[in-house]
Amino acid sequence: MEQMSSTEYVYLVAKPIGREAELIKAESVIVTGAKPSELGVTTSGTLADIKQGAFISSVIKVLISGDSESIDNQIGRKKLYRKIGELGLQSHNFCVRLIKRPKKMKLDFDQFKVARNIGARIGGSVNLNQPATEFWLLLTPNNFWFGRLETSADKRWVQFNKRPHTSSSSLPARIARAMINLTIQSNGRLLDPCCGTGTILLEGANMGLSVFGADLNPKMVFASQKNLDHFGLMATVATADARNISHQTFDGMFDAIITDLPYGFALVADTERDRHILANVRHLAPKATFVSTRNLSSDLEDFGYKIKRIVRIPKYDHFVRLVFITNTK
Ligand SMILES: C[S@@+](CC[C@H](N)C(=O)[O-])C[C@H]1O[C@@H](n2cnc3c(N)ncnc32)[C@H](O)[C@@H]1O
């Protein structure tokens, strides 16, 4: 058992498996600086703001850590309790939670008893219903970390998935949120020039960005506006063609463009139209992220975009979304 330096953090992330595996890994690397383990645990020396994480759900500040073997037995657990006592933790309204990865991991001890024993080494008062502070004992088959929960993600994307207007090619809200996290890490002006029903706008507005959306189809502009109104969120939305939208359309330049280019069952794939859009919007922001079902690499290179990362998100076997994260300079 060892005591960690005060700058060590452990993040709980969705397990990087299945269709969204690449996106989960990419979000973890960009936000926390490190890849998650196959169990969905990321350790990092830095504390990142994960309130708006799409696949990152919580971060704890590690106070004590070690091999899970070392607390497999009574003597090891007693040592852990003693060490926790030595930390001199004090908190009003705290609770202790035992978190397992994998969730169904079998334990040879009574987890509630362990949580109670840990709680007995912390000064202050326990509040299991509305704790002001949570202390976690996070266990995996190989490691344990004891620490204080710093932040949990707001998970607002869950509500946005129930927006009143969607279309067959609408993005899932969680993917839209991850795309924003992969592109822009601070406040600024965000443009979605092919906004459809406004999934990216909803997420961007919720994340505190100044958000601007355009679509060629006025019905989509209406749907975006309705969706924003439904959640009480603000964005400027207009009917406009992304092939000739300019900084004057919304009175200024942008910090990032994030858009889901036209594709899907109801839309005809049109390479020339996509190329026009790419050529036109490149001058509007220093960063741009595009989603498409086709490989845009050579088109992006033709127009001077620097591709930083490509993330694959399969929906079905024959329908794969590709996310191109680029710098425009
Ligand atoms: C894949 S959909 C966007 C879906 C959107 N992300 C959502 O979650 O609802 C692409 C959108 O591009 C729009 N579109 C097609 N051509 C366009 C153009 N030249 N300029 C602006 N929008 C265009 C379509 O009307 C469609 O709403």
Residues 130 and 116: their CA atoms lie apart, in Å, by 17
What's the pLDDT at 254? 97
- Using the mean position of ligand 1's atoms as its centre, give its distance from the Cα of residue 174 in Å: 18
Q: How confident is the model at residue 268 (pLDDT cuts 50, 70, 90)?
A: low
Per-chain mean pLDDT for the chain:
94
Q: Taking a C-beta distance cutoff of 8 angstroms, is the pair 43, 29 a contact? A: no
- pTM for the full predicted model: 0.92
- Which are the contacts of 145, defined by CB distance < 8 A and separation ≥ 6? 10, 60, 62, 64, 65, 136, 137, 138
- Specify the ligand 1 atom closest to the Cα of 214: 21
Q: Whose CA is nearest to atom 13 of ligand 1?
A: 194
Enumerate residues 6+ apart whose C-beta is below 8 A from 92. 124, 125, 127, 132
Nearest CA to ligand 1 atom 1: 262
Would you say domain 157-327 falls under CATH 3.40.50.150? Answer: yes
65's tokens: 């850590």
Q: Write down the pLDDT at residue 125.
A: 96
Hey, which of 216, 227, 290, 292 would you mutate to test ligand 1's pocket, going by the most ligand atoms within 8 Å of its Cβ?
Answer: 216
Centroid of ligand 1 to alpha carbon of 215 (angstroms): 6
Q: How far is CA 123 from the centre of its chain?
A: 34
Pocket test for ligand 1, best of 162, 220, 277, 290 (most atoms within 8 A of CB): 220
The domain limits of the chain are: 9-152, 157-327
With H, G, I as helix, E, B as strand and everything else as coil, classify residue 324: strand
Cα of 165 vs centre of ligand 1, distance in Å, is 14
* pLDDT class of 5 with cuts at 50, 70, 90: very low
- pLDDT tens digits along 128-139: 999 999 999 999
Of 3.30.1300.10, 1.25.40.10, 2.40.30.30, 3.30.2130.30, the CATH number of 9-152 is: 3.30.2130.30
Q: How far is the CA of 319 from the centre of ligand 1 (A)?
A: 17
Q: At what angle do helices 74-86 and 111-119 cross, to 10 degrees?
A: 30
Q: Which residue has the higher pLDDT, 168 or 50?
A: 50
Q: Which residues line ligand 1 (CB under 6 A)?
A: 167, 169-171, 193-194, 196-197, 199-200, 214-217, 220, 241-243, 260, 262-264, 273
pLDDT confidence of residue 6:
41
The band of 264, judged by pLDDT with boundaries at 50, 70 and 90, is low
Q: Which atom of ligand 1 has the smallest separation from the CA of 196? A: 27
